[in-house]
Chain A
Amino acid sequence: MTAHDPYDPKEFYDNLVKHKLVLPGTTPGIFGRGAEFEKVLLGFNNLVSRIASDDSAELMLFPPCVDRKLIEKVGYMKSFPHLAGTVFSFCGHDAQHRDLLGRIQDGKPWADLLEMSDISLTPAVCYPVYGNLTGTLPEKGRLVDLTGWVYRHEPSPEPTRMVSFRMREFVRAADADTVIEWRNTWKERGLQLLLELGLPAKLDTASDAFFGRGGKMLAANQRDQQLKFEVLVPVISAENPTAVCSFNYHQDHFGKTFDIKAANGEVAQTACMAFGLERMTMAMFKTHGFVTAQWPESVKKLLWP
């Protein structure tokens, strides 16, 4: 007899489906969200808005796709070619269309009938922001508030690893001291927020899932320099808790790439922080149970004041 794993991913997914929180999909990594799931997700996103209301962030909204050249420009294909989603579309005429339909009918591959478009799926909601910051920043720098859908090509049956999900993100651009101070403030604030919501959250240094052997070096660099932190909550594993929130310090990478200058004339530095909204929501269901009516009063009050 094997011991029951309280963090079994399949059991967790099945429970999300059973309680109509998740509407099952037909391909790994893609599924619908039910009304109660959305109620929690939006409640949390609104709570973040209330907490950040005094920060005077500028709201920006972008679609879930970007100019492919932007993905090339920021170096995404160097670091994460395996996660990118590039849009290919049918641009042929009638004869090719008949060929296409015939192949679909026969279950044969049809990728060669498509052409690469100028569009990529957005891999992180902050990428479209930086081009809007080009030039010299005001004295206090700028702070941008974003919510949007992102794409990562890592299909998995495990519910916390989605192909498409929402991020609530803030981007700070200013001189180095200002950016680091902002990042440190949010590190405390983000962790505190999750603890107040009753989640067994903890903060840790982290690294991105960079591609290949070069990626191992990039990840070691990122850890050595403490450029990335995550807030982790056990959702589908006690040993490897799930990152629900991350803090990334880019140094002058985007400042240089997009010619952004701080008010002091130096190349601007940037940092971002983001909550994975679906993962946050799943962490809430894992911790407090699948029926929101039974959640602690203090938690309900925070989400739905």
Chain B
Amino acid sequence: MELSFRFATRPTNSYQMTIDDSIRKVLKDHANLSVDALTVAEDADLYKNGMTSQTGVNVMLALEGAFDFEFPDTMLNRSVFQTIANIRAAVQKLTEKN
């Protein structure tokens, strides 16, 4: 409860925060993490925190829906989805093109 309250009152005016919030929301809904997706460190290995190959696929598809892009085949690998920081870098790369 307390965590979601903190999340709700975060400043959301910066571009970076919006991306991070969306990524964390996708992780919370799809990654099946053993830790709280809203507070897990951005460099924490998501695969070591409960995400499996299968839930990783669900995360990938949900990110495509949330950001309205498609990951190219070259980015469909483990390291791109390993940490929040890596996911953010991929999202930024793909949204900058548009």
Chain A contact residues, CB within 8 Å of chain B: 75, 78-79, 213-214, 216-218, 220-222, 224-225
Contact = CB atoms under 8 A, between A and B. Distances in A.
B77 A218 contact: no
Given A213-B61, A214-B61, A220-B77, 18 more contacts: A79-B54, A214-B57, A214-B58, A217-B53, A217-B56, A217-B76, A217-B77, A217-B81, A218-B54, A218-B57, A220-B78, A221-B53, A221-B77, A221-B78, A222-B53, A224-B77, A224-B78, A224-B79
Chain A facing B: main interface SS: helix
A224 B76 CA distance: 11
Interface of B: 53-54, 56-58, 60-61, 73, 76-79, 81
A213 B78 contact: no
Given A78-B54, A221-B53, A221-B56, A216 B78 contact: no
Nearest to B53: A221
Contacts of A75: 54
A78 B57 CA distance: 10
Contacts of A222: 53
A17 to B, nearest CB: 39
A226 to B, nearest CB: 12
Nearest to A214: B57
10 contacts: A78-B54, A79-B54, A214-B57, A214-B61, A216-B73, A217-B76, A217-B77, A218-B53, A220-B78, A224-B79
Given A75-B54, A78-B54, A218-B53, A225 B78 contact: yes
